[in-house]
Structure 1
């Protein structure tokens, strides 16, 4: 069976920057094993699988190794596919996901994602954290999803050379590092998730669901211009509103065609 296939660079206006995602539009979901095999074949940070429903789309996300409960850049890419290719007259789209209903809408050529906020609490710095990061943490916060590590400055974040094998052994599937921003950004960050098959994710919307409330508590602000300082790099505008976070960004199409798969 041939199904529509797209590869999109998300959270960027420059091709080959931001975070690449595959988006595949299916008539129905095959087995999880088939979905995981396809995601591994695509070998991108995330593959988004879309199934149209009467009024919205069912959306699931897979890394090359696991299914994840929330993904920002692949949701952004999916919204672009729907609103720029499948429903060009629309301005909003709703996705039914493992994290509830996620709404996305256009805003002056960009897209705004309405995501759940992820709260965290301060914890004692794990003994192995400094050696895993090859840097000294200032403080560490934790949620069920990630550790969040504050480092001393943006330069340290940008130049970090972590030990991925050590990070994969932590009791959280992902690790965010962050610091006060530079170059006009409110904060910078990077995200490591080797346990999920992604040593470093280029731009991570879900991480900003934890970063936005963290920096809001620290600064008293509710809106931020953020930069994820991976090799590809990407910009995310974040707005905290109660228990929700709005993530705003752009994306650009790279590949459009069809994939031959067996459902």
Structure 2
């Protein structure tokens, strides 16, 4: 064990069978996908090996005055590299966007629960805006299986910044505000999504994005008898259930998005027709 800090390293924690704490990793690439949207990649064998679709990672600022980390959903894993995609919306994300390969940053994760995707199904990944990145990772993991089918249905404000990544794994349909929104696209695909499938797989929606969009998607699915899981986007403080900042209303009372979620079913959220 590290004698200077008396805290275990990631390797020591993993060997002992428990979750490693905040630790420092190497940044390997920071790329602007479109103005204000950045893909951020770092090297972390532990997170790469353990992250599940919809789980997130906390990034910590180098500024000691910024105590709270910023949470981002895992968007892709390659070997021991972990990628995130986020919008630059404040000083924290602006700091991360200016980092370069070879820099270091403190991380914690993977945190939160994941999409429930163990059963064979036709999974339809319905995302909007910066809710799209966690669905890229869902597509990546589901594409490794031969007992399910996957379709991605994405809506953007303008630039289709994530299509090139998700299209590596699954069939992708997308739309931007010049044509409508993601529900417009679902309406166009209704016959395809609701018809009985030759492979016998039932259809399950996995959605992430702005809350009004996810609620509309959940209602669309409910009216057609389709199950829906929503990965909630909520402002978080700690990321592991201590600060109680990220609560959301459910039919069973208030729940913490970071530790009870971020994934909830449409039934849990009361988003049913």
Both structures adopt the same fold (TM-score exceeding 0.5)? no
Higher relative contact order, chain-length normalized (CA < 8 Å, sep 6+): 1
Using structure 1 for the length normalisation, give the TM-score: 0.28
Which protein is bigger by CA-based radius of gyration?
2
Q: Which structure has greater strand proportion?
A: 1
Using structure 2 for the length normalisation, give the TM-score: 0.27
